Amino acid sequence: MESPIDRYSRHVLLKVVGREGQAKIEQSRVLVAGLGALGSLIAILLARAGVGFLRIVDGDSPELHNLHRQILYDEADVISGRPKAEIARQHLIAANSQITVESVSEFIEPHNVADMLEGMDLVVDALDNTRTRYLINDAIIDRGVPYVFGGAVETVGNVMSIIPGRTPCLRCLWPDPQAVDNHPRASTVGVLSAVATAVASFEVSEAMKIMVGRYDDVLSGLVVMELWGNQFHIVPLEANPACICRTASSEHSIK
C-alpha cells in the first residue's frame, strides 16, 4: 500500500496546502449533506483528498433519471434499490480505504440535525431544498461550525461560504425563508450536469481553504455562475446587524 504522502503528493506540492495543510485535511471531520448531483462529486473529491472522516447523509435511493448528473451511482445501483448513503460509502471506501466514511440513510430534520452536526468541523451543502438549508444554517451558527452552501438549477449555480463570526449567513442573504421556498428546482425545470459539477468543485475548493485554515482566501460574497451564457459574478454581501449570525454568542466566532 502506498504511503499517504505518495497518495496526496500533488496537493502537498501546492503552496496553498503543503504538508501541514494536507495533515489538517486528514484530521478533518466533514458532513456532506445530500448525495445527489452536488453531493456525488463533493463526496468523491473530499474522499480522494484524504478527509479523515466523512459523514454522508441522504434519505433517498438512486433513480434512473439521477444518473446524468449523480456520478457516484450506476445502473446496477439503481436496480439494487439500496440507499444512496450506503452505496456512496461503498464506492468512496473503494476509492480511498485510508479514510473513515459514516453513512446515514436519513433526511436532515429538526429532530436529528444536532446529531448530524455532532463532532463535525465543517458542513458542505449538497441539498435541494431551502427549508433544510436554513435548518443547517441556524444550527452551525449556534455551534460555530463553518458551512459551505451551494445550489444548481437550470444553467445557474451559486456558492457561498459561511464562517461564524466572520461572514454573513444565509439569513443575511435571504432574510425570509418563505420568499425563496418556491424557487425553481431541478425536478421541475431541469439542471445542466456541468453546472452541478462546477458548483460542487467550487464548494470543495472552499472547503479545502477552510480545512487548511486559509480563511482570508474564502469567498467574500455569493458566487453566481451562468455556464450557458459564460457569465460569472461575485455578489458582495454584508451581514444584517439583527441577524442571528451577529447576535449569536461571540464564543463561537472563528478567528
Q: What pLDDT score does 249 carry?
A: 43
pLDDT in tens, 161-191: 999 989 999 999 888 877 676 777 777 888 9
pTM of the model: 0.93
| Cell numbers representing residue 42 in the block | 463533493
Query: Are the C-beta atoms of 84 and 60 separated by less than 8 Å?
Result: yes
Query: Are the C-beta atoms of 35 and 127 separated by less than 8 Å?
Result: no
Task: Give the number of domains in the chain.
Answer: 1
Q: Look up the domain containing 234 and give its range.
A: 4-252
Q: What pLDDT score does 129 carry?
A: 86
- Of 168, 166, 244, 165, nearest in space to 149 by CA: 168
Helices (H) then strands (E): counts for the chain: 13, 8
- Of 238, 241, 245, nearest in space to 165 by CA: 245
First to last CA, the chain: 38
pLDDT in tens, 224-247: 999 999 999 999 999 888 898 887
CATH number at residue 67: 3.40.50.720
Q: What pLDDT score does 4 carry?
A: 54
pLDDT in tens, 38-71: 999 999 999 999 999 999 999 999 999 999 999 9
Q: What pLDDT score does 188 carry?
A: 81
CB-based contacts of 15, cutoff 8 Å, min separation 6: none
pLDDT in tens, 114-159: 999 999 999 999 998 888 999 999 999 999 999 999 999 999 999 9
